Amino acid sequence: MKNKILMGLAAIVMVAVLASCGKKPQVQIDATNAAITAAKTAEADVYLPAEFAALQDSMKAIDAAITAKEGKMFKNFKAEVAKLESLNTLAGNVTNNVVAKKDEVKKGAETILNDIKAVVAENAKLVTKLPRGKEGAAIIEQFKADLGNVDAAVADAQASFDKGTYMDALNKIKAAKEKADSLNSEMKAALTKAKIRF
Amino acid sequence: MGKTWKHIAILSAIAVFLTLIGFPLFYPVPSPPVNEVKYALTALSLAEKNESETFSGELYTEAKAYYDSAIISWQKENKKSRYSRDYNKVVMFAGLSAQKANQASENSRNSSSNLDVKIRQKLNSLNNLVTDLTEMFSDYPLTQEIRNHISKGKFLLIESELAYKENQYKLADEKLQESENLLTSSYEKAFSNIRNYFRSYPEWKRLIDSTITVSKETRDYSIIVDKYSRKVFVYLDGEKIDEYSAELGKNWVGDKRVRGDKATPEGMYKITKKFESDSTKYYKALLLDYPNNEDTANFEAAVAKGTLPKSAKIGEMIEIHGNGGKGADWTSGCIALTDREMDSIFKIAKIGTTVTIVGSMNDLKRVLNR
C-alpha cells in the first residue's frame, strides 16, 4: 500500500517536472538574433539579399513556433533549439559568404575601373582626330560633352569604390563602361568613314 | 469491515486526487492559432519576395504591423491561465496581416507588370528622341548647357536600361524619369531655338526670290549663301549653275549684330572690291558692302534701345575669301571657300554682283525632314 502511495506521488512529481521543464530558449534566441544582426552589419542585405531575407523569414517562423509552444502545458523546445542552432550556423555562413561576395563585387568593380581607364584615354585621343567637316564641329562638341559625363561617372564610381560601397560602384561603373565603349565605337566608325588612321 | 472502509477511503482519496490532477489536464482549452499565424507569415514572406516594400509599401507595412500585433497578443494570452486564454484577437490580427500581405503581393505583381510595360515603352520613345536629337541638331550649334543635358540624358538612359535588364524596375523608372526630363527639355529648347531662327524664313525667301529675279533680269551672275547648309550657290540668268561648300563664323546662327561677334550677316549685298592674292591674307577675297544702310539703321536702333551697349561698334570687312576647307566654322563672320573654289567664283564675280546671305533656302520642315 505504502508503495502505491509513493508511486502516485512520484507520478505527480513527474507531471510537475514535465510541466515546468521546457524554458524558452532565450540564450539561443539571443545568439541567433546576434548572428543575423552580424550578417546585416556585414551588408548581407546588400550583397546577398535573398539569403538575408531567408534568414529573417526563418527567425520569424521559429519565433512563432516558440510562441505556440509557450502556451502549452508541457513545453519542449528541443526542436526549436535545434532550428535556432542551425539558423545561427546558417547566419554565420551568410556572413562569411558576404565577405566572399563583397570581394567578388569589389574585384568586378576594380576590373571595370581599370579597363575603363584605357578606353577613356583612347577616347580622349580619338576625339582630337575626328573629322570636323560641315557636321563635324557640332558632333565633336556632343562627343566632348559625352566624354565629360563619362569622366564624371568614372569619378563618381571611384568615389563609391573608395568609400567601400562596392555594389554602388559596380552599378555606376558598368553604365560608364557601356557609354565609353559605345562612344569609342562611334568615334572609330566616324574615323574609318573619313579614312583617318587611329 | 473496517479494512474495507479503509480501502474505500483510500481509493476515494486517490480518485479525488486524480480528478483534481486530471481535470486541468483534460479540461478543453482553446487551441492556439498556429495555422493562422503560419499562413500570415507565409503571405508576408511572399509579399516581400514580390517586392511589396517597393511597389506596395503602405499595405506591406500594415501587414507587418498586424503580424507583430498578432504575435504580441499571442504572447499576452500565453501569460494568462490556459483556461482563460482567448485567441480571437490573435486570429483577427493574423487574418488581417495575411489579407494585407496578399493584397500587397497582388498589387506588387500588377504594378511590376505595368511598370515593366511602361518602362519598355518609355525606353523606346526616349531612344527615338535621342535619334531625333542627333539627326536634327547634329550640325546646329547648341549651347553647352543643352549639349550637356543631352549627354546626361543619354547616360541616364543607359543606366536605366542596365537596371531594367536586372529587373530593378523602380530604379530603372527613376533613371528614365530623370533622363526624360533632360532629353525633352533639351529637345524643346533646341527646337524652340531653331524655330525662332527660322521665323525669318519668309524674309530669307523674299531675298532669295529677289536675287534670282535680279540674276534673271540682268542675265548676270548672282550669289546666294545658305548658312544652314553651309553652301554657296551661283546663279546665272536665274538658274543655279554651281555650288560650293562654305565655312562661316563660329556663331553663324542669327544676323550679325556687332563687331567681333563672329556672326555672318544676313541680307542682300553687293561686291565692292576684289582682292587678288597680293592684297589679302586669305588667298583671294570679294569684299561685300556690309554694313549697308539697313544694317547701320538696325545697329543704331539697337544701341538707342539699349539692346547693344553704347560702346559697341558695327562690324565691317565681310568677305567671301579663300583658305577654306578647314572643316570648321572658323572665320570672324566671313564666308570661306577652298582656294580652288575661290578661283572659280573670283572669275565670275564683278564689282556690283549681288551676294545674298540667308539663314536657309529651305523652310524648317524641309530642313528637319519633317
Tell me whether residues B32 and A149 touch, CB distance under 8 A.
no
Say if CB A61 and CB A86 are below 8 A apart: no
Flag whether residue B76 sits within 8 Å of chain A, measured between CB atoms.
no
Whole-number CA gyration radius for chain B:
43
Flag whether residue A27 sits within 8 Å of chain B, measured between CB atoms.
no
Say if CB B280 and CB B320 are below 8 A apart: no
Considering only CA atoms, which of A147, A171, A176 is closest in space to residue A160?
A171
- Show the CA angle centred on residue B279, arms to residues B274 and B281, nearest 5°: 105
**pLDDT for the residue A3:** 61
Say if CB B264 and CB B333 are below 8 A apart: yes
Mutate to test the interface with B, among A60, A112, A156 (most CBs of B within 10 A): A60
Flag whether residue B325 sits within 8 Å of chain A, measured between CB atoms.
no
Say if CB A139 and CB B138 are below 8 A apart: yes
**pLDDT for the residue A136:** 59
Please name the member of B38, B144, B154 whose beta carbon is closest to the beta carbon of A64. B38
How far is residue B297's CA from residue B280's CA, in Å, rounded to a whole number?
A: 29
**Nearest residue of B to residue A74, measured between CA atoms:** B25
Please tell me whether the peptide bond between B265 and the residue prior to it is cis, using omega within 30 degrees of 0: no
**Reported ipTM:** 0.70
What percent of chain B has pLDDT above 70?
99
| Res. B166 pLDDT band, cuts 50 70 90 | confident
Q: Which residues pair with B232 in a beta bridge?
A: B225, B244
**pLDDT for the residue B143:** 86
> Which of the pair, B303 or A75, is modelled with greater confidence?
B303
Please name the member of B41, B49, B151 whose beta carbon is closest to the beta carbon of A149. B151
Q: Which residues pair with B249 in a beta bridge?
A: B331
B63 Cα to chain A: minimum distance (Å): 14
Flag whether residue A49 sits within 8 Å of chain B, measured between CB atoms.
no
Number of cross-chain residue pairs from A and B with Cβ atoms under 8 Å apart:
110
Please name the member of A64, A171, A179 whose beta carbon is closest to the beta carbon of B155. A179
Tens digit of pLDDT per residue, chain A (198 long)? 556 655 655 555 555 544 555 788 999 999 999 999 999 999 999 999 999 999 999 999 999 999 999 888 888 999 999 999 999 999 999 999 999 999 999 999 999 999 999 999 999 999 998 876 545 567 788 889 899 999 999 999 999 999 999 999 998 999 999 999 999 998 998 888 778 888
| Res. B144 pLDDT band, cuts 50 70 90 | confident
Flag whether residue A89 sits within 8 Å of chain B, measured between CB atoms.
no
Flag whether residue A12 sits within 8 Å of chain B, measured between CB atoms.
yes
**Residue A180: HSE in the Cβ half-sphere, 13 Å Cα cutoff:** 26
What percent of chain B has pLDDT above 90?
71
Q: Which residues in chain A have their CB less than 8 angstroms from residue B159's CB?
A: 171, 175
| Res. B3 pLDDT band, cuts 50 70 90 | confident
Tell me whether residues B139 and A135 touch, CB distance under 8 A.
yes
Cα dihedral sign for A56, A57, A60, A65?
negative
What residues of chain B, 97 to 126, have a C-beta less than 8 Å from chain A? none
**Is the pLDDT score of B34 beyond 80?**
yes
Flag whether residue A169 sits within 8 Å of chain B, measured between CB atoms.
no
pLDDT in tens, B132-142: 898 888 778 88
Please name the member of B21, B34, B162 whose beta carbon is closest to the beta carbon of A178. B162
| Res. B173 pLDDT band, cuts 50 70 90 | very high
Q: Which residues in chain B have their CB less than 8 angstroms from residue A53's CB?
A: 45, 48-49
Structural domains for chain B: 200-367 (2.40.440.10)
Flag whether residue A20 sits within 8 Å of chain B, measured between CB atoms.
no
B64 Cα to chain A: minimum distance (Å): 11
Neighbours of B339 (CB within 10 A): 17
Tell me whether residues A67 and B85 touch, CB distance under 8 A.
no
Task: Share the mean pLDDT of chain B.
Answer: 92
Flag whether residue A60 sits within 8 Å of chain B, measured between CB atoms.
yes
**pLDDT for the residue A4:** 62
Cα torsion through B78, B82, B83, B87, rounded to 10: 40
Flag whether residue B230 sits within 8 Å of chain A, measured between CB atoms.
yes
**Is the pLDDT score of B197 beyond 60?**
yes
Tell me whether residues A136 and B328 touch, CB distance under 8 A.
yes
Q: Which residues in chain B have their CB less than 8 angstroms from residue A67's CB?
A: 37, 71, 74-75, 78
**pLDDT for the residue B214:** 93
Average of per-residue pLDDT across B239-256: 90
Tell me whether residues B155 and A133 touch, CB distance under 8 A.
no
**Residue B83: HSE in the Cβ half-sphere, 13 Å Cα cutoff:** 6
Structure pTM? 0.71
Neighbours of B84 (CB within 10 A): 9
Q: Which residues in chain B have their CB less than 8 angstroms from residue A143's CB?
A: none
Note the helical H segments in chain B.
2-26, 34-49, 52-55, 57-79, 88-137, 144-165, 169-197, 201-218, 293-305, 339-348, 364-367
For cell 510537475, name the residue. A16
